[in-house]
Amino acid sequence: MDFISVVLGLLSLITLIYVLMILTSKKRLPIFIEVFYVFAYFFILLVVLFPSLLTIIEESFGITSALNFITYLSIFMAYFMILLLFKRVEEQRAEISKLVREIALKDKKEK
């Protein structure tokens, strides 16, 4: 096992433990996010421990390079999640504005 694999493995393990801690805490994330991150980091950990797993995936799915496929898929997933985050931030901005407006109008009414 080379140095990069060890580092990647350790980082995946730490992140996996962190995600599992969130799962068991009171402050949860949306279930889709929790499941995605558990699977993603568990998969990275598996690939680090069992490099031949990539060869099995290549043979099973007829892919030339499983690593390239996983890399492109990861980039696609990351961009998609950023998009979802932007959408969520925008929704919250609108909600905050609505709240600030109601407070201003309510204060005026009470005076």
Partner 1 sequence: MKKIPSIAELSKEKKILVGMPAFNEGPVIGNVVKHLKKKGFNNILVVDDCSKDDTSLNAKKEGASVLRHIINRGAGGATATIIEYAKRNDYDYLILMDSDGQHSVEDAKKLLLTSMKQKISLVIGSRIKSDYKHMPLQRKIANHIGSFATWFVFGKYILDSQSGFRVLDKKAIQSVKLSYDRFEFCSEMIGQAYEHNLSVIEVPIKVVYSEHSMNKGHGQNIANGFTMLERFLFK
Per CB under 8 A, which region of 11-19, 22-30, 66-74, 91-99 contacts partner 1?
Answer: 91-99
Q: How many binding residues for partner 1 (CB under 8 A)?
A: 11
CA distances from 78 to 20, 25, 32, 37, 98 (A): 20, 25, 14, 11, 30
Q: Considering the complex, what minimum distance in angstroms separates the CB of residue 33 from partner 1?
A: 23
The rounded distance, in Å, linking the Cα atoms of 110 and 108 is: 6
Contact flags string 5-44 toward partner 1, x per CB under 8 A: ----------------------------------------
Q: Is residue 84 within the footprint of partner 1 (CB under 8 A)? A: no
The rounded distance, in Å, linking the Cα atoms of 1 and 61 is: 25
Phi-psi region of 19 (alpha: psi -120 to 50; beta: other; left: phi over 0): alpha
> Which residues bind to partner 1, rule: CB under 8 A?
93-94, 96-97, 100-101, 103-105, 107-108
